[in-house]
Amino acid sequence: MNGYGGTILRVNLTDGKISKEPTPAQLARDFIGGRGFGIYFLFKEVPKGIDPLGPENKLFISTGPLSGMMAPGGGKCDWTTKSPLTGGYADASMGGHFTAEMKYAGIDTIILEGISTKPVYLFIDNDKIQLLDASSLWGKGAIDVEVELKHKYGEEYQIAAIGPGGENQVLYACINHDFGRQAGRGGVGAVMGSKKLKAIVLHGTKSVAVADLESYRKAGLALYKACKDAEGLAEWSRYGTTVVTSWCNEVGALPTRNFSAGSFEGIDHINGQAMRKEIVITDKGCFGCPSPCGKYSNMKRYNTQVEGPEYETIGLMGSNLGIADIQSVAEANRLADDLGLDTISTGSCIAWAMECYEKGILTKADTDGLELKFGNTEAVFTLIKKIAHREGKIGDLLALGVKQASQEVGKGSEKFAIQVKGMEQSAYATHNATAMLLAYMTCDVGAHHNRSWAITYDLQVGREKVVPEKVARIIWLQNFRPMFDVFGSCRLQWVELGIDRELYCPLLESITGIKRSWQDLEAVGNRIWNLTRMYWARENDSFGREWDYPAQRFYTEPPKTGATAGQITKFEDVQKLLDMYYEQRGWDDNGLPTQATLETLNLTALVV
């Protein structure tokens, strides 16, 4: 099958059975790859109501037709599972070189099922596939594990590993790869840890057939040229995602002290300029990427290295914690990476705990003696380690994520648990930016910005406006942006460099042999969107409108300082946004796809 590895690899960790099936052509036609394959398999193979950390959950790792090809950013794979953090749909997109290697090993999806009695790692070298003993690796940090396995097998081998965070099933544990890339959110690392799978070692040397070689070469080179000609390439590559840090601060979008404000007084010590000045050594890129956003850094104070911090980590582990020092943020980043914790969720949980501490809701008796005041860097380092090991009352509490932790502690702390559907909000404060707020409310993994991002649109249209155009924009972005996760590639070449997305169509056609316009592709995106929505509904009997509500802070507590001081969204506008959104999506008043919508999308058979 042109453009595909051709095989679905099934690995049963309970009985050790390893089997292969050919990738169904109809699946490739209907769902294309990546996130599309993920939701298809999740719906089909994971029974309703199972425990995400139990033997019946599965972890699906999928490439897409652009993975491993001569395509800018063709370096992403999608990890899909039932989330232990939210109880709903989770997927995480991982960069680096793993997806390419999967493709060259002839694999489109790896299905990890069951639970091993002992720690193992999965070894894949073309057709030699084994589950091997990982007892000597268990307990080690993800960085050390990658070093060890590359040393053992060779530099060509690609490694994905969990740290102690995943082993201990911290609900937002992540998976690490290529010394700085993660399958970050939703607890995919906890699922891998629950299966006692410590790492995956991957090596492939096969070729990938394409439908039209000359057209493929031409289309690929055209995309690279567009990226190289893009205005802003040099600036983007120099600063990566940190390029927006100062701007976010200026427009009140930078999460500050548990999202109590959107601007931070210490901005000059944590922005892109500070990074380049103090720590960055190398611009590091994922497979095939002409616009390397990775900022590999060396922290002289600690004598450590990390790929990062990304903007998200600067937000959630810098300004959100009241920390005004880039080396401290970078070291917190490194600790989280090595221990295998999603930096966004970790930062949010710590910020929540700090607010609890400053309000007297948590005392030193609850924090194992830690002085959890905003700005206390040493306490942050200690706490990250405690969380990863579920150590002490506070470590174990925060390992649950901010929603469950606040439900346990109570005393009004739920009001400042900044999450939607149980996932901690990523680094854009939305006190007064209604399109972005809607993006977070309706994102299908919880409060993450991956599916749609619209702050500029908010500023262009009028940030407090609640109008159908904003809703239409969010819906369009939600149908369109995740298609890159389906292609197995990065979206940032379109998002950040602004290249013409039409260039992807001839590339996809020359690879797969199937002609698809962006209208066709967005239709697939819309179909996937409704499927992930139905998955949430299937798993949660009470699922509906209230699950889409934003964190309470954004309609009750105007910031006292910063660019959005005194500004807040009205709850009636939250409802108005949802009314318009459901209507435009073809969903009922409670936010569930109507029968008519499911029929139009040809989904009724799948969602039974």
Partner 1 sequence: MRLYADSAKCSGCRACLVACSLNLFQESNPKKASLNLIPHFPNPGVYEMKVCTQCGDCAAVCPTEAIKLNDRGAYYVDFAECNLCEACVPECPEDVMFVRTELANTAWKCDLCGDCVSVCGTSALWIAN
Partner 2 sequence: MLKSYLGDQKEVIVEAGYTIRETLISLGMNPDLVAGIFVNQDQQSKDYILQDGDIVNLLAVIGGG
Q: How many CA atoms within 13 Å lie on the side-chain side of 186? A: 26
Closest CB 564 distance from partner 2, rounded Å: 12
Residue in 74, 266, 272, 340 binding partner 2, rule: CB under 8 A: 272
Please choose which of partner 1, partner 2, none residue 476 contacts, taking the beta carbon within 5 to 8 angstroms, the exact cut-off set by kind.
none
Closest CB 423 distance from partner 2, rounded Å: 15
Alpha-carbon torsion (184, 185, 187, 188), positive or negative: negative
CA torsion 568-572-578-580 (nearest 10°) is: -110
Structure tokens that stand for 73 in this block = 């950013």
Residue closest to 78 by CA, chosen among 126, 111, 48, 125: 111
Angle at CA of residue 42, ends 118 and 487, nearest 5°: 105
Amino acid of residue 486: V
Query: Does 238 interact with partner 2 (rule: CB under 8 A)?
Result: yes
CA distance 137 to 119: 8
599: left (phi over 0), alpha (psi -120 to 50) or beta: alpha
**For partner 1, the closer CB: 156 or 572:** 156
Residue closest to 343 by CA, chosen among 170, 481, 197: 170
- Do the Cβ atoms of 220 and 70 come closer than 8 Å? yes
Interface with partner 2 (CB under 8 A), residue total 37
Residue closest to 473 by CA, chosen among 600, 580, 554: 580
Closest CB 442 distance from partner 2, rounded Å: 16
**For partner 1, the closer CB: 69 or 372:** 69
Query: Does 567 interact with partner 2 (rule: CB under 8 A)?
Result: no
Alpha-carbon torsion (95, 97, 103, 105), positive or negative: negative
Structure tokens that stand for 413 in this block = 């702390």
Which 8-state DSSP code applies to residue 260? T
Closest CB 456 distance from partner 1, rounded Å: 24
Question: At a CB cut-off of 8 Å and minimum separation 6, what does 563 contact?
Answer: 249, 250, 251, 252, 262, 263
Residue appearing with tokens 């619209």: 454
Residue in 460, 556, 595, 604 binding partner 2, rule: CB under 8 A: 460
**For partner 2, the closer CB: 150 or 501:** 501
Query: Does 16 interact with partner 2 (rule: CB under 8 A)?
Result: no
- Do the Cβ atoms of 36 and 486 come closer than 8 Å? yes
Closest CB 459 distance from partner 2, rounded Å: 5
Please choose which of partner 2, partner 1, none residue 453 contacts, taking the beta carbon within 5 to 8 angstroms, the exact cut-off set by kind.
partner 2
**For partner 1, the closer CB: 229 or 378:** 229
Residue appearing with tokens 């922005």: 271
- The contact set with partner 1 (CB under 8 A) reads 68-70, 72, 75, 97, 100, 104, 143, 147, 155-156, 178-179, 205-208, 210, 213, 217, 220-221, 224-225, 227-228, 233, 237, 281-292, 294, 296-298, 305
Residue in 312, 366, 509, 548 binding partner 2, rule: CB under 8 A: 312
Question: What SS3 class is residue 562?
Answer: coil
Closest CB 430 distance from partner 2, rounded Å: 13
Contact window for partner 2 (CB under 8 A) among 24-32, 364-372, 451-459, 597-605: 451-459
Please choose which of partner 2, partner 1, none residue 268 contacts, taking the beta carbon within 5 to 8 angstroms, the exact cut-off set by kind.
partner 2
CA distance 486 to 78: 8
Task: Give the x/- contact pattern for partner 2 in 86-125, rule: CB under 8 A.
Answer: ----------------------------------------
Contact window for partner 2 (CB under 8 A) among 32-40, 157-165, 240-248, 255-263: 240-248
- Do the Cβ atoms of 202 and 121 come closer than 8 Å? no
**For partner 2, the closer CB: 407 or 460:** 460
**For partner 2, the closer CB: 122 or 441:** 441
Residues numbered 390-449 forming contacts with partner 2, rule: CB under 8 A: 426-428, 449
Query: Does 251 interact with partner 2 (rule: CB under 8 A)?
Result: yes
Residue in 135, 136, 456, 595 binding partner 2, rule: CB under 8 A: 456
Q: Where are the beta strands (DSSP E) in 337-467?
A: 419-420, 423-424
Closest CB 288 distance from partner 1, rounded Å: 5
Q: How far is CA 548 from CA 378, 423, 592, in A?
A: 36, 12, 11
Query: Does 250 interact with partner 2 (rule: CB under 8 A)?
Result: yes
Residues at the contact surface with partner 2, assessed by CB under 8 A: 231-232, 234-236, 238-239, 241, 243-244, 246-247, 250-251, 268, 271-273, 276, 311-312, 426-428, 449-450, 453-456, 459-460, 494-498
